[in-house]
Amino acid sequence: MTKNNFRSEKRVGKSKAYKADERQKAADQKNRHFDPEKRREDRTRAAENKKSYSKFPKKRTNTSFSKVKEGSIPSDKVRINKFLAQGGTCSRREAEKFITAGAVVINGKVVTDLSYRVSPSDLVKFNGQTIRGEKKKYVLLNKPKDFITTTSDDRGRKTVMQLVENACSERIYPVGRLDRNTTGLLLFTNDGDLAKKLVHPKHGVRKIYHVTLDKKLAKHHFNAIVSGLTLDDGPATIDQLSYIDGSSHNQVGIELHIGRNRIVRRIFESLGYEVMHLDRVVFGNLTKKDVKRGSWKHLDKKELELLRML
């Protein structure tokens, strides 16, 4: 190549070449749109879902999953993990572990297949107990003293189940627990998923207690509780603490989200106080309104919706 026939040309980078190509395609598309014959051809192909001139051809929507197929599972069948949760056994996630471990027997055979669907005629047993897919129930009890929070007691002590035995025909279980001498709100349900959510520390359901002490709560102890104490099992952080209006300073209201065993009693015991009476007056969005001591009520729709939003 001689110097005379050499022509210098400006180099075009890849990105610039790509942009130029895209601009050209856009121009071609625009010109094609203004051509009646080509526009008619594009519309026909689009209707037939065939590849057209467009760079992104229209794809056929897959609706096969929504069509009823021959031999499809009837709507009255329920996934096995959901069935166990509805029966109040546990949450769905926990149910999956029990199923794969072989703890579920259906019609006399161990079932470990998580995709199995339970029909109304199936006999389902979990750890030897028959499980029924029941309608979800939500019962709020105002617990009195001298009742323990358990489903049964081999020592013959009174249990909270005796107080709600006539609430419904479904098997319900207490959500969390209250000590034998602690009174107040206790929720019962056969909704395993909701029960697990309400007691899990991650969600931190609000609880308010009315505490009666053996003596007046000193101001410096009041401030120490508000600042946060450290107990044997870790920090005991509360949300609010206040003296009860119109009463001596041996009665306080305490609000907290933590739910460790006997946490309220241990907070005051660590400072040298004895809790004479402990009453849970608020649980989540639920209060003791219209629920006398020892009685119960079914949650209404609004209360249940607010509870699920926690």
Closest of 192, 198, 176, 188 to residue 126, by C-alpha: 192
179 counts as catalytic: yes
Please count the residues of the chain: 310
Sign of the CA dihedral running 97, 102, 103, 106:
positive
**In sequence order, what are the beta bridge partners of 242?**
253
- On whether the CB atoms of residues 169 and 240 are closer than 8 A, the answer is no
* Residue 237 neighbours by CB distance under 10 Å: 14
3-state secondary structure of 285: coil
Q: Return the ∠ at Cα 146 (arms to 143 and 147), rounded to 5°.
A: 55
Catalytic residue among 42, 122, 179, 239: 179
Q: Which residues are catalytic?
A: 179
